[in-house]
């Protein structure tokens, strides 16, 4: 089975800058966003996907 080009992909690529300029993410109220522990990007949180314990401090994890 060979590779088939996607008309959607080529259209997105053609208009990508306009899409980026006009796209906004609204996450709740925006006042309190927990990037690592909320499932905002996937079905699970980033910390769960990467196996980072909730009580772990990222400061201690960065070398």
What tens-digit pLDDT sequence spans the chain (63 residues)? 666 777 788 888 888 899 888 887 766 676 777 777 877 766 888 888 888 876 655 555 544
Report the alpha-carbon distance of residue 36 to residue 45 in Å, rounded: 6
- Cα-Cα-Cα-Cα dihedral sign, residues 15, 20, 22, 28: positive
Q: What is the pLDDT of residue 43?
A: 83
Q: What is the pLDDT of residue 56?
A: 56
Report the alpha-carbon distance of residue 39 to residue 17 in Å, rounded: 27
Q: What is the pLDDT of residue 62?
A: 47
Give pTM, 2 decimals. Answer: 0.39
Question: Are the CB atoms for 15 and 28 separated by under 8 Å?
Answer: no
């Amino acid at each position: 089975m060979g590779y088939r080009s996607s008309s959607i992909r080529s259209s997105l690529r053609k208009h990508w800058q306009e899409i980026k300029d006009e796209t906004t993410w609204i996450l709740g109220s925006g006042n309190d966003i927990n990037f690592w522990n909320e499932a905002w990007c996937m079905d699970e949180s980033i910390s769960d996907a990467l196996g980072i314990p909730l009580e772990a401090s990222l400061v201690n994890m960065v070398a």
